[in-house]
A and B are shown apart, each in its own frame.
Chain A
Amino acid sequence: MTPWLFYLFATITVLCSLAVIGQRNPMHSVLLLIGSFIALAGLYVGLDSPFVAVTQIVVYAGAIMVLFLFVVMLLNAPREDVAPGAQVPIPGGIKAFGSVLAVGMAATLLWALSKLVSTPFTQDAQAGARVASVRDIGIMIFRDHAFAFEVTSILILVAMVGAVVLAKKTV
């Protein structure tokens, strides 16, 4: 992958992701999220794995569609602003717990960043060929990592049941 392409897609990804949380309009946020995913797919293409890139678009960009519909159907207001006076005061205990979590998160991120070694751009042809084949990815997911795969699907099932319970008016 040529460096300038990497920097182009990386910049788009980061800028779009930042804009997602900097937006007041949920509709624009959702669209910027798609933009970020597509730029990420561009990075995968540069890494010689078009299969992962296309899957990224089909799965993530496709799933955003549902998010999109949630925004349209559940959030009627086009803006996320909270009406003045409607803000519920947050108890101190929860605030303290949240700040401890935030500090922990920041520390982890800093630690991960400190481990960062700048590596030159090299074409590891063999590694690329190993991951690029759809057959190998399938064998890896469904044989070598079958347990993790099944556990993930149970996690998604739990989330789905939770969403149904939350969405139902009378439980």
Chain B
Amino acid sequence: MPTIDSALVFQISLILVVFFALQISAAVLVYLERKIAGWAQQRVGPNRVGPLGLLQPLADIVKLIFKEELRPKAADTWLFYLAPILSATTAFAAFAVIPFGPPTTLFGLLDRPVPLQVADLNVAVLVVFAITSMGVYGIVLAGWASNSKYSLLGGLRSSAQMISYELAYGMSLASVLVIANTLSLRDIVDQQAGVWWVAGFLPVPQWYVFLAPVACFIFFVAGIAETNRAPFDFPEAEQELVAGYHTEYSSMSFALFFLAEYVNMVTASAVTVSLFLGGFYMPFLPDWLGPLWFLMKLAVLLFIYIWLRWTLPRYRYDQLMDFGWKRLLPISIVNLLVTAAGVLYWS
């Protein structure tokens, strides 16, 4: 009888755990978004379904499942149904390389320590970048396959926006890679453990946000643009494009786009946490609670995402392009050069 490799079983079940956690996080985010929107606008927000309106996401899901699935007659059938699938898959796939805890044996339950990460690749940073760039296809395809002018405009805007901001995104990423000298997310996170003692008594965590604050800012802003969130939510600008690329979608295919948007937010925040905010490490606090620290940092960033959406008005389209090409990109290139010079000087 073959012996069961408990570590392997754990690693495989980790995939399922991450998958369901992402889905639940999307549901929680939808609820929080509506609640925070309520506070920002001096309303109550959802409060009827369940205590404090907590069951609202569940009611929404049931509603979406039972809605009628509509498809425009002139739409390209295959691509019309492929687009939401592509969107959702790429959103989930990127999270696979993100480490959210130190290697654990589950208090001696497993025969060898297993890292809390679905796939530990030595080029994890590039994988995130590659999958993000594939995510554009879902939106552009949806825009084209719907055969409607609003959808097409939304899709084209999205592609222009994502291509523009991907450059600044990649450049700010590169300055972290120059400092860390590795492409593995786990190594990058491990290098951010510990503290510096500034002036002998002030502890500062060794997070890259303190070494490369400009890169962190650019990465976060470009991340908002990449996930199509306000104030960069042009692909679905309601006042101009009805609902942009998903105008023609209903029922579950719309739900997949909705899910993809929130999962993308979680993934983008998780990458920011891993690259700049020390991942699952917290100074002076035990490492084995890593997933908890990771979740806390994630929650702070996600709150900022939602906060920004209900605080800032949408840019104008030419302002968006100006900001991406004439401000963010030059700043990120100069920042990369300065960082590289600094690394050469101090190493």
Contacts and interface: CB of A to CB of B under 8 A. Distances in A.
A65 B164 CA distance: 13
Most buried by A among B78, B82, B122, B126: B126
Q: Interface majority SS on B: helix, strand, loop or mixed? A: helix
Given A57-B134, A72-B156, A65 B129 contact: no
Interface stretch (A10-18, A48-56, A106-114): A48-56
A65 B144 contact: no
Contacts of B159: 65, 68-69
B21 to A, nearest CB: 25
A58 interface: yes
The size class of the interface chain B forms with chain A is 20 to 34
B137 A57 contact: no
B137 A34 contact: yes
B140 interface: yes
Interface in B157-210: 159, 163, 183
B329 interface: no
A58 B137 contact: no
Contacts of B76: 25, 27, 78
Contact of A58 (B79, B82, B122, B126): B126
The residue among B76, B130, B137, B144 with the most chain A CB atoms within 10 A of its own CB is B130
B152 interface: yes
Contacts of A78: 76
B144 A61 contact: no
Contact of B144 (A27, A34, A55, A57): A27
Contacts, number: 57
B343 to A, nearest CB: 15
Nearest to A69: B159
Contacts of A31: 79, 82, 141
A104 interface: no
B127 interface: yes
B174 to A, nearest CB: 12
Nearest to B134: A61
Nearest to A51: B123
B66 to A, nearest CB: 31
Contacts of A73: 156
Given A57-B130, A58-B130, A134-B123, A65 B79 contact: no
B121 interface: yes
A54 B163 contact: no
Contacts of B78: 28
Given A65-B163, A69-B156, A72-B152, A54 B133 contact: no
Given A31-B141, A54-B130, 20 more contacts: A27-B76, A31-B79, A50-B122, A50-B123, A50-B127, A54-B126, A54-B127, A54-B129, A55-B126, A57-B130, A57-B134, A58-B129, A58-B130, A58-B133, A68-B137, A68-B159, A69-B140, A72-B144, A72-B152, A72-B156
Interface of B: 76, 78-79, 82, 121-123, 126-127, 129-130, 133-134, 136-137, 140-141, 144, 152, 156, 159, 163, 183
Sorted from nearest, which 4 A-B pairs have the closest CB atoms?
Answer: A57-B130, A54-B126, A58-B130, A62-B133
